Amino acid sequence: MDITAFLDRKLTRRFETYDSDQDGFIQRSDFERAGSRTTAAFGLSDDDRRARRFHEHLLGVWDHLSAMTDTNDDGQISLAEYKLAFTRRLLERPESFDDSYLPFLDALMAVADQDGDGHLGVDEYVRWSGALMNLPPADARVVHARLDHDGDGLVGTEDLLAAIRAYYFSEDVDGPGAWLFGPLD
């Protein structure tokens, strides 16, 4: 897989959102901290069923990412290792996200969808994306608006999944996927 200049910028941005302590490496502890911030942002205790499920899926994402990218087996992922994984076809096709991301998104929705309507309003979106990925509220509002295709103020699991696919596979600089993790510049 060739990494275009645009994909390179997106991979760098995604790496930054994973690296919650900004030490230049992605580690399991980054995922643990992000998970704790997210469930706490929604007032869930560690023993809450939704919190446990969310943490389990989030750490599953870490396990998968680590297994695919930690080439020197040191328990952390550098930006170079992260990008190298993409040149080696970590992502072969957009549909490959369904198996790994859909269960995670379902667990996220169980935490963040406070009114249980199956969608995220702007306030719910701002809260989870800020807690999980340190996305500033103003950026999160812009992302939410870009993902809200029908203008009803709500974003669902399918919207998120489509944006994740587009983030990694689309070269559309104005598409909703391009802004999934905030501005690239």
Tens-place pLDDT, residues 106-152: 999 999 999 999 999 999 999 999 999 999 999 999 999 999 988 99
In whole numbers, what is the pLDDT of the chain averaged over residues? 91
> What residues contact 140, with CB distance under 8 A and at least 6 apart?
125, 126, 129, 130, 182
Read off the amino acid at residue 9: R
175 — pLDDT class (breaks 50, 70, 90): confident
Please indicate whether residue 88 or residue 91 has the higher confidence score (pLDDT).
Answer: 88
Joined together, the tokens standing for residue 103 give 């269960």
pTM above 0.85, yes or no: yes
DSSP run (H or E) holding 76: strand 76-78
Q: Where are the alpha helices (DSSP H) in 42-176?
A: 49-69, 79-87, 97-112, 122-133, 137-147, 157-169
Instruction: Count CB neighbours of 172 within 10 A.
Output: 11
